[in-house]
Amino acid sequence: MAVSKRIVLHFPRRLVEKPVICRLVKDYNLEFNILRASITADPEEEGLLVLELKGEQAEYDKGVNFLLKSGVKIQSLSQDVVRNEARCTHCGACITICPPGAFELDPRTRQVRFNDEKCVACGLCLKLCPPRAMEVHF
Ligand code: SF4
Ligand code: SF4
């Protein structure tokens, strides 16, 4: 059975230069489509990749296993990051840390807009937001 899933890959610094994704194609016959790629500010982690990964279920499972064994952390995009509007104080602390730039300051209202379509569910803003306005929903 063929599967197609959207996942977020977190690459530790030591793997960024390695051809990990190429091996998914060569060794496991998987197709991928890069939806977003960015570098995080977290010193423990360097790369973040949002992928659509397609292939036969058995090969998909083996490919994911290979990624995990290599040290890549995998997160499903079914984890939705949402903002609790009642809690947000529009302090702006999240604007610079979000790798894909999902937050922006509206110069007119001085409020921080959250564009959830850009969010790759990396979780950085969850830890950083002072009033804990960012939440993850499964
Ligand atoms: S860090 Fe939290 S409170 Fe501050 S603007 Fe971002 S979501 Fe709102
Ligand atoms: S979880 Fe937060 S910091 Fe990470 S991409 Fe989404 S909005 Fe940006």
pLDDT along the chain (138 residues), means of 10: 84 79 90 83 74 90 91 78 95 92 95 88 88 87
- The confidence score (pLDDT) of residue 131 equals 97
Q: Which residues contact 67 (CB under 8 A, 6 or more apart)?
A: 9, 20, 24, 74
- Structure tokens, 108: 């007119």
Q: What pLDDT does 42 receive?
A: 64
Contacts of 61 (CB under 8 A, 6+ apart): none
Rounded to the nearest angstrom, the distance between the alpha carbon of 52 and the centre of ligand 1 is: 29
pLDDT of 56: 93
Name which residue sits closest to atom 6 of ligand 1, judged by CA.
94
Model pLDDT, residue 100: 80
pLDDT at 121: 77
Q: Which residues line ligand 1 (CB under 6 A)?
A: 83, 88-94, 103, 112, 129-131, 133-134
Q: Rounded to whole angstroms, how far apart are CA atoms 12 and 16?
A: 7
pLDDT of residue 36: 79
State in Å: Cα 77 to ligand 1 middle: 22
